Structures are given as C-alpha cells and as structure tokens.
Amino acid sequence: MKILVIGAGISGCTCAWRLAQSGHDVTLVEKGRGVGGRMATRRMEGARIDHGAQFFTADDPRMKQLSQSWQDAGVIVPWYDKIPGREELSGRIRFRGVQGMTGPAKALSQSFQVETGFFVDLIQKYQGGWLVAEKGNGTRTFQCDHLIITIPSVQMLQLFERSHYTLDTETMDRLRSIRHTQCLAVLGILDRPSSLKAPGTVTHPVQEIDWLSDNHIKGISPIPSCTIHASNNYSQRHWETTDEERVPFLLSVAEENLKAKITSWSSHRWGYAKPVVTFGRTYWHSTQEKLSLAGDGFGGERIENAALSGWAAADAIMAV
C-alpha cells in the first residue's frame, strides 16, 4: 500500500518505520528542516544542545526493542538512573542520544522516504485515497492509499478546517479536548565548565523552572552549554511578553546554579510541550476513511508513549 505520514516526530517516524519494515511504500512529510519534532537538537556557537525532550525511558517491550536497536547502532546510550541527592526520583534508566535527542528519529528515517520543508496545507479525498498538498507556491503534492497524521491536535484541527474535512462528532470532541502544556526554553553558552556533577541536571531549582542541564556534562556538547525549561505556569504567564522581560530571571537562576556566566543565549517557545489531557485512546484509525491519527496527544506524555502510539497505528493498518 502507498502510505503517507504527516509529521516527523517520534510517533510519525516509528509508524513510518514499522510500515516500511512490513513492505509498504511509505513517504513522510515534515514542515521542519529535519526529523525529530520535539526531540530536537540544535547547534549553537560550537555547542550541541538538546532544546526539547531531554531523555527517554523504555518500559514497554516494544520500546525496549527499539531502544536496543538504537543502542546497537550507536545512536543512544544510557544516561542516568539516579540523580545524586534526589534518590526519591524513579530509578529507571534515562537514555540520551549520542549526538543529541534527534538520533532515534534520524535512525528510523533511514527506512522510508522523507520530504522536509513540506508544510501540509491541505488534505483531500482523491481517487479512493488521499491527495496531500504543500503550502505556498510549492509544487509538491502526494497521493496515497492511506494517510496518517501525527501532528499536535491543535494543528491537526487547523489542517482539518483548512481542508473542510471533519470526522464524527465524538471523535472531533475528543480531538478538541486534547491539551498540552507550554514551555519556554532558553539555550545558553557558558563561559566556563559548570559546577554540576554527572549527570549534569537540576530539576526544579525554583518553582519557575522545571529543568536545567549542562549539555557538555550530558556528553553531547563539545563546550559547556545549558538548557533551561521554564515551568508551564511561568511559560503561560510570559508567553506574550518580550524576551527582555521573561529571560533575565531564568538566566540569573541558571547562572547561580551552574556557577558560570551565560555569554549568549537564544529562546524558543514550545506551544505543545507535554499532553495533560489526551484523546482517551492510544491512536485513532478508520479503514473506511483510510485515515489514522497518532502522537502523544493520543498515546500520552513521554516519548515512549508517543512512539507506541505510532507503533499501534501502524499495527492497525497492517491488520487490515
């Protein structure tokens, strides 16, 4: 079957990989420049910085299988299971990418065709399948027998609206009910090695910050560089304010905890960070519509659940 997947996050890549493994002709389209979605790694002044998800866990046998294959391929390594002084936190192994968190998605994407810089503007029923068109004056369109959409639910609903497409009332209500947290992230270059011990992380140093880490101690950056994730509350309060208003406080807390100066920085707003209300089922699938929906808004919080959502959607298609 000719299958098109929209969205190159871990759910889309896992889904596309599994379908390609079973012999389907799979193409994945992604609006960004590369694959990974919220598993994002950025280059900045010689540093390599994870600015979205920081690690993943693998409890389910399917995720263990995936993570073992990534370990065997040298794409990921175990990062830590305990933080010194925070023994109350779960002792599960957290994995990190060897070259940053985009690694797993990059590895999966070797098995199917990827079109990047492709913002899906419209989807349309066509000759018993689907036609998918890019935004702008781009000439790229794709035809497929089955379509899988793995973009965050708000963007999914916007795509439906642009395309004058809708599903049954219950499904649409469930889609509209999905909610994600917001996260203001700041990436910074440090003037010296930070004072953090391995694994190089501080969680909740103050209530306004969820996460602070040194990417050099983490093992992905040649030079000391930090990631700061503001809490959902702080991020929401400052979503529309300017960087001049919202960033200095975050920098000062980071500098105090890292015992280093941040010489330059850049900020990013994650509009859909982690799901707090989900669809209520791991994925949505309709043989009649020739459509499947997946992502963390279905599978639930964490990379593992997003990947398993894509995996389960692929299995539903293969079961036909």
Ligand X SMILES: Cc1cc2nc3c(=O)[nH]c(=O)nc-3n(C[C@H](O)[C@H](O)[C@H](O)COP(=O)(O)OP(=O)(O)OC[C@H]3O[C@@H](n4cnc5c(N)ncnc54)[C@H](O)[C@@H]3O)c2cc1C
Which listed range, 41-49, 163-171, 238-246, 302-310, lies at the site for ligand X (CB under 6 A)? 302-310
Q: Does residue 100 bind ligand X (CB under 6 A)?
A: no
Q: Does residue 10 bind ligand X (CB under 6 A)?
A: yes
Residues 154-173 that bind ligand X (CB under 6 A): 155, 159
Question: Do 123 and 165 meet the contact criterion of CB atoms below 8 Å apart?
Answer: yes
For ligand X, which residue of 20, 26, 114, 151 counts as binding (CB under 6 A)? 151
For ligand X, which residue of 3, 9, 104, 282 counts as binding (CB under 6 A)? 9
For ligand X, which residue of 28, 44, 53, 63 counts as binding (CB under 6 A)? 53
Which listed range, 1-9, 20-28, 108-116, 283-291, lies at the site for ligand X (CB under 6 A)? 1-9
C-alpha angle 82-229-5 in degrees, rounded to nearest 5: 95
Q: What's 35's DSSP letter?
A: S
Q: What's 34's DSSP letter?
A: S
Which listed range, 54-62, 80-88, 107-115, 284-292, lies at the site for ligand X (CB under 6 A)? 54-62
Nearest to 50 by CA among 255, 273, 209, 213: 213
Q: What's 146's DSSP letter?
A: E
Cβ neighbours for 47, distance < 8 A, ≥ 6 positions apart: 189, 215, 216, 221, 222, 223, 224, 225
ω into residue 199 within 30 of 0, thus cis?
yes
Q: Does residue 5 bind ligand X (CB under 6 A)?
A: no
Contact string 210-239 vs ligand X (x = CB under 6 A): -------------------x----------
Q: How far is the CB of 231 from ligand X (least distance, A)?
A: 11
Q: Does residue 182 bind ligand X (CB under 6 A)?
A: no
Question: Do 211 and 54 meet the contact criterion of CB atoms below 8 Å apart?
Answer: yes
Which listed range, 4-12, 138-146, 245-253, 255-263, lies at the site for ligand X (CB under 6 A)? 4-12
Which listed range, 32-40, 63-71, 187-195, 198-206, lies at the site for ligand X (CB under 6 A)? 32-40
Cβ neighbours for 88, distance < 8 A, ≥ 6 positions apart: none
Which listed range, 5-13, 201-209, 238-246, 285-293, lies at the site for ligand X (CB under 6 A)? 5-13
Cβ neighbours for 268, distance < 8 A, ≥ 6 positions apart: 51, 184, 185, 186, 187
For ligand X, which residue of 3, 108, 123, 183 counts as binding (CB under 6 A)? 183
End-to-end CA distance of the chain: 11
Q: Compute the distance between CA of residue 81 and CA of residue 121 in angstroms, rounded to an integer.
A: 42
Other beta carbons less than 10 A from residue 91's beta carbon: 8
Q: Does residue 306 bind ligand X (CB under 6 A)?
A: yes
Question: Do 7 and 109 meet the contact criterion of CB atoms below 8 Å apart?
Answer: no
For ligand X, which residue of 16, 39, 66, 217 counts as binding (CB under 6 A)? 39
Amino acid making up residue 120: V
Q: Does residue 274 bind ligand X (CB under 6 A)?
A: yes
Q: Which is nearer to ligand X, 67 or 194 (CB)?
A: 67
Q: Which residues bind ligand X (CB under 6 A)?
A: 6-12, 29-32, 37-39, 52-56, 118-120, 150-152, 155, 159, 183, 185, 229, 270, 273-274, 295-296, 302-303, 306
